[in-house]
Structure 1
């Protein structure tokens, strides 16, 4: 039996097993199984280092993404640049860290942005862990102007990413004129729980919107943006797309994308 698992705390509600196990079934990998393992940031080095050879890889959710990068024997360039990892893959050299969250956000942006539009201005709500792969994806997309809206000024933590992509980046709080900022944006990415921004929803929903939240759905921000005539995409797109590369790194075969996403959407519906 070959295994992979999601590490996190809490982890019992993770939907990653639905995606990966659906992929195993579709690909005929009858000797593979994907599990949930409760794991704090402090526990991660012990759990991964003691995993037997049947474990080929681990998906990592909070609070272990920073610990995963620090623990790994090697890391991809994007994981080092983002500063965290959601993927650990066993190799002949030890454990390799990667960050596939950025692929998930890229997929969401692909569905959100019209091919005929060349976006240049983006608004990022929140400056936590998901903000990092979001900036990476926006930089890859060709965004040149970024405004980060957050309750506290965390520009120092994001500065290396901003500088890598040469972004003209401003940081602001919810006390500023965020309605004017969002009305000038080509795309909005929200990485925060809905409750934290609910008092400001009317000021935020003025551009195509990707909300990383997928449950409950739709979020108040998505409802407002859609009511204003803008495209919207939910976090289920990111969740599915970030799993494809994980699947391929763990198993060494191409991920059955359609089957995996259909399984997730069927569960959520």
Structure 2
């Protein structure tokens, strides 16, 4: 085993990624002085060459867009969790050179909710229908006992979400984006849309809403998250998801039993406050 160990996050664009901040904070707290974690701008065309050039000092990779699906053909094995959404965000390189893919976004989302006391819900709503929405559905498959309503902008997106529901064993119902304010009666709402998309909905938040998980983290809070909190609802943000999925990545890549969640979150909060 090499004396120095490497890990990194790959994607395009990548300059905004907080992953180096979180992983480096973990290494510092764990005393892993010979470990490094970097970021590399890599697109789909450059991914095979990057992976082929990795030597035995590499311990793992984090993948962000647009590489979560592109990495799959380059791996020796992927977990059932990753296969369920056809997306890998974590690669661990074993001592014998095998490349193992996993998805820590899904259990990370569940862990973040559990930390806030959300263990089970009878129903839920998802705003949006992109890649993050499929991970949200996979997480809801573990904690939601009843239907999930997805609010989408087109019938094509509605078909996609219903398809994911069938695949993941979730009772997915769909509704038009123009009716999105109806989502706020659900005990759990997961907003998976890009920045600005839900801003107009902030005025529609009712008094005493349930729990909102808005996957954005910058700028924070979003208008929707701020309105939700003002009206007495529980709010989780993208940093909660980012930290919890990174905790699982650190544990898989380093082999430690428990990554330092508090130190990682503190580093992430300080980094965001400085932007």
Return the match for 2:36 from 33, 52, 55: 33
Q: Secondary structure at the match of 1:84?
A: coil
Return the match for 2:147 from 145, 148, 164: 145
Q: Do the aligned residues in 2 keep the contact of 1:108 with 1:210 (CA within 8 Å)?
A: no
Q: Do the aligned residues in 2 keep the contact of 1:112 with 1:210 (CA within 8 Å)?
A: no
| Alignment RMSD | 1.9
Q: Do the aligned residues in 2 keep the contact of 1:111 with 1:233 (CA within 8 Å)?
A: no
Could you list the runs of 5+ residues in structure 1 that have no partner in the other structure? none
Report Cα offsets for 1:79-108 as digits up to 9, x if no partner. Answer: 000110101111235211100011221123
TM-score (normalised: structure 2) = 0.89
Aligned residues between the structures: 265
In structure 2, how many angstroms separate the alpha carbons of the residues matched to 1:32 and 1:73? 24
In structure 2, how many angstroms separate the alpha carbons of the residues matched to 1:38 and 1:4? 14
Return the match for 1:45 from 43, 48, 53: 48
Segments of 4+ moved more than 6 angstroms: none
In structure 2, how many angstroms separate the alpha carbons of the residues matched to 1:108 and 1:204? 22
Shift of 1:216: 0.8
Of 252-261 and 149-158, the range deviating more from structure 2: 149-158
Q: Do the aligned residues in 2 keep the contact of 1:89 with 1:250 (CA within 8 Å)?
A: yes
Aligned 1:199-214 pairs, distance under 5 A:
199-203=200-204, 206-214=209-217
TM-score (normalised: structure 1) = 0.91
Q: Secondary structure at the match of 1:104?
A: helix
Q: Secondary structure at the match of 2:28?
A: helix
Q: Do the aligned residues in 2 keep the contact of 1:150 with 1:173 (CA within 8 Å)?
A: yes
Could you list the runs of 5+ residues in structure 2 that have no partner in the other structure? none
Of 49-58 and 193-202, the range deviating more from structure 2: 193-202
1:171 matched to 2:145: no
1:219 match: 222
